[in-house]
Amino acid sequence: MKTLTDYLWFETKKKQEIVRITDQVAEIVRASGVAEGMVLVSAMHITASVFVNDWEDGLIHDFQVWLEKLAPAGKDYRHHQTGEDNADAHLKRTLMGHQVMLPITKGTLDLGPWEQVFYGEFDGQRRKRVVVKVMGV
């Protein structure tokens, strides 16, 4: 079995941002030489997510509006009593998920016709990373 671990680094311009990372993940898969296997893509920060969905501007906007309704910024969360001010970012990450496992077939990501991989940042403007771990034969 072959394995390869690599990292994607992000420093978003906004506090909340959704970034398409499909091409970067696909390049790591290609570089691994794995023909059949899986790739784990996982946010390494508790206020960021990785998820798979459609790459359509209206849907990306809808995610952001939906998340703000479910976990609004500026609310008096108990977490803020610790001196933090980002409880909403933790909740948004939980809703969107922190990692995905994707299939590799014939050396490429085996995604559905509209599926794309995204990094969701909910407490940004500082350096954060995503681990990409490729495993297979």
Q: pLDDT digit string (tens) for 46-105?
A: 999 999 999 999 999 999 999 999 999 989 999 998 989 999 999 999 999 999 999 999
pTM over 0.75: yes
Q: What is the mean pLDDT of the chain?
A: 97
Number of domains in the chain: 1
Question: Can you give the CATH number for the domain in which 121 is found?
Answer: 2.60.120.460
* pLDDT (0 to 100) of residue 48: 98
Residue 65: exposed, middle, or buried by beta-carbon count in 10 A (0-12, 13-18, 19+)? exposed
Q: Which domain holds residue 9?
A: 2-74+83-136
* pLDDT (0 to 100) of residue 130: 98
